[in-house]
A = this chain, B = another copy of it.
């Protein structure tokens, strides 16, 4: 199965990388870009009997390995056969 997982900083965690992109974009003339937050995207291939099993695996795996639950949220976006 294929799955897509987002890992993003929690809303109250500062994102200096996003702020740097906004500053750089203003210097390049892109004043229309008001805010940027950067996250991570994971494309996974996994063995699972069905979607429910895949979701259980992904929840555990994302919490343990992909995200740092102190400062990050994860979201399983798609699961495809």
Q: Which residues of A contact B (CB under 8 A)?
A: 6-8, 18, 21, 24-25, 28, 30-48, 57, 61, 64-66
Establish whether residues B43 and A37, one from each chain, have CB atoms under 8 Å apart when the complex forms: yes
Q: Is the CB of A61 within 8 A of B8?
A: no
- A6 to B32 CA separation, bound complex (whole angstroms): 19
- CA separation between A42 and B30, bound complex, in Å? 16
B45 touches A6 (CB 8 A): no
Write the chain B residue with the least CB distance to A57: B32
Residue with the greatest number of chain B CB neighbours at <10 A, chosen from A7, A34, A41, A66:
A41
Which of A28, A31, A45, A48 gathers most chain B CB within 10 Å? A45
Chain B residue nearest to A53 (CB atoms) is B32
